[in-house]
């Protein structure tokens, strides 16, 4: 009992350590003080000011646009690449498997400088497009690794059975393979979206004039001080994520309930 009691305390302290900064951020979004050093009083003015801050909103929408497009693109490419690497043997496959981990393990600053050098070599104008290309490039390996881990557990027997039952390549992929690896595709997509959403270093090297993202905007405000309307924006974003997680959890509980009743 004592051991279990200590384990519960450690878990509780861990959650406090993880979520206390988020709770403080939400509280200070209602702070009447602009300095946000001491909580002086409750106000909703910063949520009103948020919608008047065009630069901040533009940076936010740029971030969402880049994250969504890069996630969709990298998920499609990464999933198809993972299936190809899983099903087919070819010369250089082992080398390619090892090369896939380089974008994951190398420091972001190295990858950012490398991408900047490529864009300069091909004389591409830095902007939203180059940031988007960069996010797709560093997201693809994460999707491949995520999908391949599921494919390795699945094997090839399920797809072979579909062919034996008369399915063509299209039907085997969309009705058998894809539903079987859906968990890996979803986890890869979520990871790609998260990495794109909070990227600073690579975006810093590949962004051009007027192509700001929310992380870059907040980073540029550190020297002069982060205004409370940024806290308001992040609080609304947290609320949106919480609602999505709540809906997802309720749907899973309903599915489990149906399975148990059946």
Averaged pLDDT for residues 125-145? 94
- Tell me, what's the pLDDT at 200? 92
131 confidence band (pLDDT: 50, 70, 90): very high
Exposed / middle / buried, residue 211 (Cβ in 10 Å: 0-12, 13-18, 19+): buried
- Tell me, what's the pLDDT at 82? 92
- Tell me, what's the pLDDT at 178? 87
Averaged pLDDT for residues 28-43? 82
d(CA 36, CA 44): 14
One DSSP character per residue, the chain reads -HHHHHHHHHHHHHHHHHHHHHHHHHHHTTBS-SS-SS---B--HHHHHHTT-HHHHHHHHHHHHHHHHHHHHHHHHHHHHHHHHHH---TTHHHHHHHTTHHHHS-HHHHHHHHHHHHHHTTPPPSHHHHHHHHHHHHHHHHHHHHHHHHHHH-SHHHHHHHHTT--HHHHIIIIIHHHTHHHHHHHHHHHHHHHHT--HHHHHH--TT---HHHHHHHHTTT---HHHHHHHHHHHHHHHHHHHHHHHHHHHHHHHHHH-
Predicted confidence (pLDDT) at residue 194 exceeds the cutoff of 80: yes
Contact criterion met (CB below 8 Å) for 216 and 207: yes
Total Cβ atoms within 10 A of residue 78: 27
Averaged pLDDT for residues 206-230? 86
d(CA 199, CA 214): 9
- Tell me, what's the pLDDT at 257? 77
CA 211 centroid distance within chain: 20
d(CA 176, CA 158): 7
- Tell me, what's the pLDDT at 202? 94
Percent of the chain with pLDDT over 90: 39
CA 142 centroid distance within chain: 10
- Tell me, what's the pLDDT at 144? 94
145 confidence band (pLDDT: 50, 70, 90): very high
Mean pLDDT over the full length of the chain: 87
- Tell me, what's the pLDDT at 9? 86
Show the domains of the chain with their CATH numbers: 53-261 (1.10.3720.10)
- Tell me, what's the pLDDT at 3? 63
- Tell me, what's the pLDDT at 66? 96
d(CA 202, CA 116): 9
220's CB contacts (< 8 A; 6+ apart) are 212
- Tell me, what's the pLDDT at 4? 67
């Amino acid at each position: 009992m004592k051991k279990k009691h200590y384990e519960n305390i450690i878990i509780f302290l861990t959650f406090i350590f993880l979520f206390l900064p988020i709770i403080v951020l939400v509280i200070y979004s209602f702070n009447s003080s602009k300095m946000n050093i001491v909580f002086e009083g409750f106000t909703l003015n910063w949520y009103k000011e948020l919608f008047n801050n065009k630069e901040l909103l533009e940076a936010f929408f740029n971030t969402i646009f880049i994250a969504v497009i890069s996630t969709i693109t990298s998920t499609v490419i990464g999933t198809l690449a993972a299936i190809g690497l899983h099903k087919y043997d070819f010369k250089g496959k082992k080398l390619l498997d090892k090369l896939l981990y380089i974008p994951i393990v190398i420091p972001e600053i190295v990858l950012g400088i490398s991408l900047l050098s490529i864009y300069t070599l091909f004389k591409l104008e830095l902007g939203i497009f180059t940031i988007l290309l960069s996010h797709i490039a560093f997201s693809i390996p994460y999707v491949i690794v995520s999908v391949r881990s599921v494919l390795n557990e699945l094997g090839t027997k399920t797809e072979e059975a579909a062919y034996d039952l008369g399915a063509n390549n299209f039907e085997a992929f969309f009705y058998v393979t894809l539903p079987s690896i859906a968990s890996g595709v979803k986890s890869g997509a979520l990871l790609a979206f998260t990495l794109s959403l909070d990227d600073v270093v690579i975006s810093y090297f590949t962004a051009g004039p007027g192509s700001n993202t929310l992380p870059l905007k907040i980073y540029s405000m550190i020297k002069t001080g982060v205004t409370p309307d940024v806290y308001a924006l992040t609080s609304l974003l947290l609320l949106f994520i919480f609602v999505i997680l709540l809906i997802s959890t309720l749907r899973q509980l309903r599915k489990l309930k149906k399975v148990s009743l059946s």
